[in-house]
Structure 1
Amino acid sequence: MSVNQTDPMIGRLIDDRYQVRSRIARGGMATVYLATDLRLERRVAIKIMHGHLADDASFKERFIQEARSAARLAHPNVVNVFDQGQDDDSAYLVMEYLPGITLRELLQDHKVLTAEQAMDIMEAVLAGLAAAHRAGIVHRDLKPENVLLADDGRIKIGDFGLARAATANTATGAALLGTIAYLSPELVTRGIADTRSDIYALGIMLFEMLTGEQPYKGEQPMQIAYQHANDTVPAPSTTNPSVPVELDELVLWATARDPEHRPRDARALLDQLLDVQRALADPSGPPVGRTMVLPSATATAVLPDSGSGTGASTGETQILPKARHRTGPIGPETDSNADRLRTAAARRHRRGAAWLVIVVVLALLVGGVGWWFGSGPGAQAEVPDVSGQDPAAAAAQLIQAGFEVDSENRSDFSPVVPAGQVTATDPDASSRLQKGSTVTMVVSQGPRQLEVPQVVGGSIDDARQALSDFSVRDPSQQFDEKAEGTVLGIAGVGADGNAVDLSGGGQYGEQQPIDLTVSLGPVPDVVGQTVEQAQATLQSVELAGVESGREYSGTIDAGSVIRSEPQVDGPVRPGDTLNLVVSDGPAPITVPDVTGKTIDEATAELQGLGLRVAYDACRNFTCAFYDWEASLPVTATDPGAGGIAYAGSTVALSYRVE
C-alpha cells in the first residue's frame, strides 16, 4: 500500500473511529480515502470535504445532502452509505469500500465495448438508478467516473453528490452542476433536472461505450453545451457500423432533446433494454421496438409494441390487410330484429363472463405475487453484518435471516479481523437479496506477514516511510545522548498483548500496530545553575526538578546544582522528575596540631586533608648544608591547631632554626 506523505490526512483518526490509511481519489468537492472502521473492524471508503469548502454553507449542505440521499437507497447496484459526520473542520461521508476500477478507466483501456458488454453494464446501472428514481432521487451527475466496476464483478453507481429530491423540478440558476459532456438540453437551457435528465446522461454513456467517443466535441465547454441544446445525437452505428439497430433506437430514444420524448424514468428504459437483450439473443423472436398495425373492421389501428414502453413508433411498420366484410344474401333468420337482439345479448353475456374470469385471475395473480414477495420465497431481506464472529455463529445468523450459507468458505487476509473469524460476506452486509439466496462467508487468515525493515538509528521521518505497510502509532519519546529525532527502538504487539521487540527485524502482520521509541536528545545540563534556574531549564523540556540534598563542593559555589539524577531507574521521559543535589560550598576542616613535627611531615598531613601549606624559606647560612625541611620542627600554624579551614585554603607554618 502506498502512502502519500504530503497528505496530512494519512494516518489521522477521524471521529475516534475511522483510521485513514491511504488516498484513493480526489474530486472537485472532496477527497476519497481508504480507512479502517476500528469499531466494526472493516475497510471503508471515507469521503472528506476539501478544507477550503468547509466555510461555504451551500457546498457543505450539498455534501450532507449526498449522505442523506444515498443513505435512503439500499440496492446491490448502489454504493452503500454507512455514516456521515464532522470531525473538527472536516465534514466526512463513510461508504462501502469497493476495490476495482471505474467505467472511465475501462473505456480508456478498451476504447470500444461490445454490444453485450455495454448492455450488461447498462442493465446494472439502470437497476440501481431505477431504485433511486423510485425513491424520488435524481442523480444529476451520471458519467463513467461514477460507475464503479468491482474486482468481483459487481457494478455500482456512486457519488450522489448532486442528487436532489425529484418530487418537483429543481432549477439550479446560473451555476449548472455536473459534467458538461453528459448534461441534458433542459439543464443547459433552463437549469431544470428530473429523472429524464439522468436518462439523457445514460444515453450519452451508452453512445460512448458503443463508439469509444462522445457524440459532441469542442474546445470550449460552451461549444459542447450549445450542441446538447440544439443538435440531435446521431445513431451510434454512424460511427461503429457493427452496432445493432435496436441499440441505435435505444440511444436515440434516451437522448431525445425533448424530455417528453424520452423514457419517463430508469425503470422504463431498463424494461426496454431487457427486451432488446432478449431480441438480440433470439433473432428468430418477434421484432422489438417496431410498430405493429393490427386489422380492424372499420379502420387500421396502430398500436405500440408492448416492449417499447413509450407509444412512439420507431423502426419498420408492418401493415396487415383490413378484414373483409362478409358478402352474399342475408337469410330471414339473420335479418330478424329479434334474432339480432338475442345475438347481441348473448355476446354481452359472454363478454361479461370473460371479464369476470379475467378479474378473478388478476386477483389471484396479485394475491400470489403479494404472497411471493411479501412472505414467500421471493421476499427480500437484508444480509446481516456477521464480521468479527466465528463461522458457526455467523452461519446461524445468516440462516435465521432467511439465507442459504455456502458450504465452502472463502479465506482472505485481514489486518483487523482475527484469524478464524468472519471478515466479510459475499454479497456484502446490508445488501438486499431474495430469501433463500446463497451467501458466502469470507474467513480471516489474520494479517499478511511482512518483513519489518531496519529503522533503529535512523530518523523518525525515514522510519515512517519505511513502515508504511504497518500502522505506526504516535512514538514514545525519551532523552538520550543520540540526536533528537533518532529512532532508538521499535516494537510490535504480540498475540498475548505484550510488546515484541522488532529492532532486529523479522516477520510482522500487515497494518498491525508499531510502536517507535524516539530520542529527544540529552537531558539539559544544569550543573552550576541555581535551583530556580535549573528548574526553569528542565521545565522547558517537560521535566521537573526538586532539591533532594546538599553536599560540600570545592568547585561549585554554595547554592548551585552539583548534579541531577533521575528519581527512578531507566530512561528519562517527558513528565519525569529529577533530583537536584545542591552545593554547600567547600567542606570545613579542623586544623590538626602539627607542632613538633618536621616541615615535611606537617605539610604531608595538611595536604592530605585538602589544605594548602605555606612557609618561609630558611635564610640561615647553615640551612645550605643539610635538608632543613626534613629536619626543622614546626613551632606554630595559622590557623592554629583546632581552628577551622576549608578545602583549598592555606595554612601557614612557623618553624625554628636550631
Structure 2
Amino acid sequence: MDTTLQDPLVGQVLDGRYRIDSRIAVGGMATVYRAVDTRLDRVLALKVMHPALAVDASFVERFIREAKSVARLAHPNVVQVFDQGNDGSYVYLAMEYVAGCTLRDVLRERGALQPRAALDILEPVLAALGAAHRAGFVHRDMKPENVLIGDDGRVKVADFGLVRAVDTVTNTTGTVLGTVSYLAPEQIEDGTADPRVDVYACGVMLYEMLTGDKPHDGDSPAVILYKHLHEDVPPPSAAVPGMAYELDEMVASATARTPALRPYDAVALLAQVRDGRGRLDEDQLDAVPPQALAVDHDNGDDRTTVIPRALTTPRPLPADGDDHASGPALDRTSRFASPPPPPPSRRRSGIRRGPAAIVVAVLLALGLGAGVWYINSGQFTKVPPLLAKTQDEAEDRLQDAGLEVGKVSHAHSDTVKRGTIIGSDPEPGARIRVNDAVSFTISDGPETVRVPALAGQKLGEAQDQLRKDGLDPGMVTREFSEDVPRGSVISARPADGTKVRAGTAVALVVSKGAPIDIPDVTGSDEADARSELTEAGLKVKIATERVTSSEYDKGQVVRQTPKSGGRAAEGDTVTLTLSKGPEMIEVPDVVGDSVDDARQALEGAGFEVDEDRGLFGIFGDEVKSQSVEGGRTAPKGSTITIKIR
C-alpha cells in the first residue's frame, strides 16, 4: 500500500503556496515532502515539523532561529534553506530539492568504495562543514543519511544545525544503531558539541566508505556507545590489507578519542585529507577493496551514477595513445634488451673486426643489462609505512623489508598517540637500498607542562609567568578576599601543579580585597555623603544630571549606586544622584468655589487637599480661604489646606 496516500498533507497546499506532491522521508523530528512552490514554479523539499513538537514554543523558536542562520550560510555543498513559515499547527522549512540519493544508499548498494571515490565524497562534505564551523555552526549529527549525492554527482550536506531536542526513538532499531555509530566520545559523556564532534563523525564515515562496515558494532546502542568511549577506531588497513597508510592516518587523526588530538575543525581535517591524498599514487587511489559489492550492470543512467562518473570510469589515455609513455626510462628494462649496434668502424676497409671486438660488444651488452638489473632488482626496496605504529611494530616492518633500524628520536605531538611513530627518514614509500638504515621519531604525546604556583602574585606577574611556562593567560574573575591583597591572584584553574597541554589557557581568580559594607547616604548633603564614603575607603562620583524630588531638598542625595547594604572593594566608586528640589507648580485660586470643585482643581494640578471646617463650617460648602494663595507656586505633591464656611 502506498503510505503517501495515508498522509493528510499529500495533495494539500501549505501556507497558500507550497503544493505537497509526495512524501520523501520521515524522521524523529519532521517529515520531508517533495513539493512545488506555486509562486515561483519550482520543485523543492518541504520539511514539516511533527505537530506534537510544534506545541513546544521554545523548540519552535530554536528551529526557526537556527534555520535563519543556516539560510545565511551560502555554500555550494550545503542544502540551502529558501523559506520558513507556519500554517496552523504545521511549522515548515522550504529547502533545496536534491534529486539523487544518500551516501547510505550508495554504501548499501556498493559496499566499500575505492579510495578515490571515498575521498571525492569526503572532501565536499568537509568543505561544507568547514564553512559552517568558521561561521559558528556545528552540525552535531553527521552520518551517511545526511550526505546527499545528486544525480549529477554533486555532494551536499543536509540538516545543518537542526539539533534534535526530542528523541522519539526508544527501541534498538537500526536507526538508533546507525545514529550512535557516529557520536564522538564527548557527546556521549557530557553532551559537548563543538566542531570536533563533526570531525569525529567524518572519520567514522571515511572508515565506513573504505571498508564497507562501521568501526564499532554491537547488538544494542549501549554496546556501541561503550566501544566509542573505550576503544579506538581501528585502521582501515586492518579490514582491507594493503590499504595505503595515508588513509589509516586520516581515520586515526579524525577519530582520536581525545578531542584535543583531533583537527580542530573540518577545515583543518580537509587540509590533512588533501595532503594525504597528494601522497597516494594512482594504483592506491583506484584499488578496489574486497568488500566492494559486484555490480551487475554498466555505467548506465541508474542509481549508481550518483557517484561522480570520474570515479567509476577508466581514465583516458594520453593524447598519443601510449599507455606506457610516462615514467622514468630506467623503469623500462625492455628498452635495454637489445643493445644498439656498434658504430661503423673507422678502420680502413678490408680489416675485419677480430674476436676481441666481439667480446667487447658482448661484455658491453651484459654490463648494461646488469646495471639495469642492479637498479631495478632486489638491491633496492621501499620504506614501509610506519606512521602510528609502535617501536616494536616499526622494527618488525623494517626487518621484514630487509632494512636496519637507524636513529630513534622522540618528539611531542598533538595528533599522534604517545609511543607511536610520527614519521621516518627516509619517508614511507621512498626508494632505499636493502640493508640501509631507516630512522624514525616516536611521539611523546602532547607536550605537557605543570601549572605554576601563582597565588599571591600580582595579576601582571602571574600572566607573564604563564606565558614563560608555555601556557596562555585565560579569563580573569575577581572575588573578595580577607587574606589576599587587592590585585593579587587567589587561585588558578586548573590548579597549580596540574599537568596540562602546552598552550592551555589558565583562568585566574584575582582578589578585590577585603569587602566594605556600603553606607546609606541618601538624604545627606553632598559634602557629608562624600566624607562618609571616603572614610569607608570608597571613591565618590556625582551624577551630572540632578532630579526633582519632593522628598529631598535641593542638594541632598536622592539615590546611590551601588545601593546601601551591599558590599564593595576598597577603591570602588559609588555614584550619587542629587536632588534639584521639588517641582514647583502654580496653585489654582479656589476661593469662593464649592468644596468639590476646589478639591478637583487642586488635585488635578498635583496637590494634596486638606479641609478645615472649624466650628461653623460643618455644614458649609464654600471655600473661604486657602493656605497658599492662588497664583503662587508650591512644591508638586504638597498639601493645600482650604477653609470652608
TM-score tier (shorter)? 0.3 to 0.5
- How high is the TM-score relative to the length of structure 1? 0.42
Which of the two has higher C-alpha Rg? 1
